[in-house]
Amino acid sequence: MPHIQLNNANIYYEDSAPEELHKPVIIFAHGLLWSTRMYDEQVAYFKKNYRCIAFDFRGQGQSQITKDGYDMDSLTEDIIALMDALTIEKCNFVGLSMGGFVGQRIAITHPERLLSLILLETSGDAEDPDNIPKYGKLITAIRWLGMKRVSKKIMPIMFGSTFLTDKSRRAEYKQWQKMLEGNHKVGATKATKGVIERAGVYQQLDEINTPTLIIVGDEDMATPYPKAERIHFAIAGSKLAVVKGAGHTATVEQPQQVNNLISKFLGSCL
């Protein structure tokens, strides 16, 4: 799969149908410390009818670790540059957590590029001040000890209790833990810093006119239901849906529920 040079960063992306330019486009933006892999089940489901593009944010997955450019506004411009490079005028945008922070910014600053906006497990606010010291400790631990030493503490933040306690999914758990440990410590610390230092966009959410779906797992501890509801009330006409038995990574934990919700919503946008 290809890499592309965007805004001084070599970005990895996967395109399910580069030759089928007639298909409507879905762009998938992953959460912090993950990659395109968190959307494998969604791409498999939607690629028949959509051109699905998943990419790795700079510093994560297979994309280049750059010196800077990890703030949410720069990441927003990376996505616009990706769309321009692939000659995509408009897309349906799916963003989870960090991807959702960026998705909201696209809807505010580049609304003409969106057909629809789907936000999962995310927030419109700046990072909770109570969480910043915890993130600071996490950054220090990653920098000095590496991802392997902290992965067991991160997994319960990323996944809900249903997934974590399901013995039949133990192999999946280990697979995702290994992916987490695969993060380069420099890229991971820079990306995490970008997330915790982000500005809030809540006061601008009433400017969004793009058809919007907000999805949250009922076991999400990182961005729980009230944060999703707060976005929902701020974006006129938006829809809010809860995924049962899912934490902060619903696309992996309950892919069928997520796919059904997205499919129904995209159908209503036609």
Q: What is the CATH number of the domain that holds 102?
A: 3.40.50.1820
pLDDT at 96: 98
Q: Is the dihedral of CA 103, 225, 39, 59 positive or negative?
A: positive
Dig out the tokens for 169 from the structure.
């999914």
User: Cα–Cα distance between 154 and 152 in angstroms, integer?
Assistant: 6
| pLDDT of amino acid 130 | 87
Segment-wise mean pLDDT, segments of 10 residues, the chain, 270 residues: 93 97 97 98 98 98 98 98 97 98 98 98 95 86 89 95 98 97 94 95 98 98 97 98 98 98 95
Structural domains in the chain (count)? 1
Q: What is the pLDDT of residue 168?
A: 98
Residue 8 structural domain: 3-269
Q: What pLDDT, on the 0 to 100 scale, is given for residue 1?
A: 65
Whether this prediction's pTM lies above 0.85 is answered by yes
